[in-house]
Structure 1
Amino acid sequence: MIKIDMFSTADKVKGQGVGSAYLELVKMLKKHFPDDFDIVINDPKSAEITHYHTINLRYYFSTFLKKRGRRIGYVHFLPETLEGSLDLPKPIKWIFYKYVIAFYKRMEHIVVVNPTFIPKLEAYGIKKEKITYIPNFVSKKEFYPLTDEEKVQARNELGINQDKFVVVGTGQVQTRKGILDFAKLAEDNPNVEFIWAGGFSFGKITDGYKNLKLLVDNPPKNLQFPGIVDRDKLVKYYNVADLFLLPSFNELFPMSVLESFSCGTPVMLRSLDLYKEIISGYYEPFSTYDEMNASLHRLIDNPAELAELSKKSLAASDYYSEEHLASIWYEFYQKQAKEG
């Protein structure tokens, strides 16, 4: 049995995709491979593999201890992908960005959640052969389509009009998430109900916090901000949505998109290079605000097109399912243990 120590504080801050990805992985490994892997969390004792999910300073110091075994780093972000997320003074930002790369360079192998990170990590001086791409996944036991009757019940429970076309977005309230475009779309479409499930996971250091807080406290009448929503309730929001919309300008591998796919919710996303690499053909793309607005109107008027998008979501969810990714992770850890 291979002992794998998960070093992580990703689940301490609610509403982060990193935390969701970490929890999904741990549950999957314990469920599928109880006789192959001994999964422990933040265990100070020795391990054959230490998988670092977050870049805490004390974790960095631990990389110099031989008892940590094979050091695996999980790369969910790069310095440039943090732009639009955190508002830090320039000297602190410079130091933090340097630290992020220094942490990754302490790893003996790195797992990236999207393939576009690979050439960027190479540019930072990390060899390609030390990098493996393994996408995120979600459990279909947690995120799944509700029946029509259950959807009616969920709308009643959440206080949503049964006759309204509903657009849902989820994630942290950040500038890079395109939340201002989301709000403008609500203003321009008063007959549509908009919901953004998420909050300020990083508080006042969130980039653009003042303006975003003003929006959250005084939204358009047809835009709801229920705040950070627990996962068991989040599945209801995906299911009451006629359309899931994530207008982000910069993304990693958003768990929210995978969760929407798993619920069979039609998905509309801004055209980003990342999406073209990993989920091309499974969502409705747009580039500008005007395109987003026009696509929304077209989808509202074409239920058949929405139904086709729903089928594409379910097809995508099969590829990014727990069952498919379990075998990939199994082979990865077995190989890393042999090289340790």
Structure 2
Amino acid sequence: MLKITMYSSADKVAGQGVGSAYLELMHLLKTNFKGEFDIAVNQYRTSDISHYHTIDLPFWFSTFSKKRGRKIGYVHFLPETLEGSLKIPQPFRGIFYRYVIAFYKRMDHLVVVNPSFIDKLVAYGIPRTKITYIPNFVDDAKFHPVDELEKRRLKTKWGIAQQRFVVVGSGQIQERKGVFDFIQLAEQNPDVQFIWAGGFSFGRITDGYTALKKIVDNPPANLKFPGIVSRQEIAELDNIADLFLLPSYNELFPMSVLEAFSCGTPVMLRDLDLYHSIIQGYYEPAKDVDEMQQKLDWLRKTPARLAELKMAAHTASRQYSKSHLAKVWHQFYLEQAKEG
């Protein structure tokens, strides 16, 4: 039996996509390969593979032990993707960014969730042969479409009028996520219900915390901030949404978008280059908040386009299904074990 040890603190901070991705992978491996993989978490034991999901300092020191076996690093972010997320003063920011890359260089192999990050890692001096792209996925047993009767029940539960157009976004409340644009759209469309599910996962060091906290504490009448909610509640909100909107300025492969796809929810995104290689054609693109407003107006008047986006969401969810990615991870671990 292959001994795999996961090193992670991703689920200790609620409301972040890294934690969701980690929990999805753990559930997939334990349910699909119970007889093949002996999986432990944060145990400094002798292993065939040590898979590092987060870059905690104790994990860094653990990489110097020969007991770790083949060291796999999960790349959920790079220094440049942290800009607009956390407010870290110099010189600490520069030190931390160098540590991030040093941690990745300690690995025998890296897994990226977006192929656009391969070239960036190569530019940092990491050989291309040591990098594999494996996308995120979500469990369709948790995230799936519900019928109209259930949608009506959920709208009542969340205090939303049955006929009201609903726009949902989710993720940490921070500048990088484009939350200010989401707020602006809510102010410009008082007849539309906006909901942003998420909170300040990193508290006061969140970039833009002071300005955002004022609005979260006193939002427009048509904008709800339910805070950090459970994954079940995220699925409920995705299902009552007429449109899922993520106006982020920087992402890798957002779990929130995959969750919306899996619920069959039409999706509109700020049209980032890094989306093009993974989900182009499955969402409505918009370059800025003005175009988001134009397209929101258009989509509300064009049910045929919303229906097309719903079908696109279903297609995307099949491409990034749990069953397909289970085979990919199984093969990956077996190949890495042979390299160890």
CA distance in 2, matches of 1:204, 1:266: 33
- Quick one: distance in 2 between partners of 1:233 and 1:78? 29
User: Match for residue 264 of structure 1?
Assistant: 264
Give the stretch that moved more between structures: 30-39 or 137-146: 30-39
Which residue of structure 2 lines up, in the alignment, with residue 10 of structure 1? 10
Question: What is the total number of aligned residue pairs between the two structures?
Answer: 340
Cα offset, 1:184, TM superposition: 0.4
Letter in 2 for 1:134: I
The 2-side partners of 1:119 and 1:283 are apart by: 25
> What is the aligned partner in structure 1 of residue 156 from structure 2?
156
Aligned to 1:296, the other structure's residue is in SS state: helix
* Structure 2 residue aligned with 1:294: 294
What's 1:23 paired with?
Answer: 23
Shift of 1:288: 1.8
Using the alignment, how far apart are the partners of 2:31 and 2:214 within structure 1? 44
TM-fit CA distance, 1:36: 1.3
Q: What do residues 24-83 of structure 1 show as CA deviations (whole Å, max 9, x unaligned)?
A: 001001111111111111112111000000000000000000001100000000000000
Q: CA RMSD in A?
A: 0.6
User: How high is the TM-score relative to the length of structure 2?
Assistant: 0.99
Give me the identity figure in percent.
64
Cα pair 2:118 2:128 within 8 Å, conserved: yes
Q: Which residue of 2 aligns with 1:122?
A: 122
Match of 2:144 in 1: 144
* Alpha-carbon offset, residue 2 of structure 1: 0.4
- Aligned partners of 2:40, 2:18: CA distance in 1, in Å? 18
Question: CA–CA distance in 2 between the matches of 1:328 and 1:119?
Answer: 22
CA shift for structure 1 position 128: 0.2
Distance 1:270 1:126 in 2: 30
Q: Does 1:110 align with 2:113?
A: no
Which residue identity is paired with 2:284?
Answer: E
Contact 2:72 2:108 in 1 (8 A): yes
1:277 Cα deviation from its structure 2 partner = 1.0
* 1:33-52 mapped onto 2 (5 Å cutoff): 33-52=33-52
Query: What runs of 5+ residues in structure 1 fail to find an aligned partner?
Result: none
The one-letter code sitting in structure 2 at the alignment partner of 1:139 is D
Equivalent residue, structure 1, for 2:319? 319
Counterpart-to-counterpart distance in 2, 1:212 and 1:289: 17
Paired residue for 2:205? 205
Please give the secondary structure, in 1, of the residue aligned with 2:157: helix
Amino acid at match of 1:60: W
One-letter code aligned to 1:263? C
* CA–CA separation in structure 1 for the residues paired with 2:11 and 2:246: 22
Compute the displacement of 1:221 (Å).
Answer: 1.0
Residue 167 of structure 2 aligns to a residue whose secondary structure is strand
TM normalised by structure 1 equals: 0.99
Runs of 4+ in 1 over 6 A off after TM superposition: none
Q: Tell me, yes or no, if the aligned pair for 2:44 and 2:62 is still in contact at 8 Å.
A: no
Q: Which runs of 5+ in 2 are unaligned?
A: none
- Following superposition, the deviation at residue 209 of structure 1 comes to 0.6
Letter of the structure 2 residue corresponding to residue 211 of structure 1: A
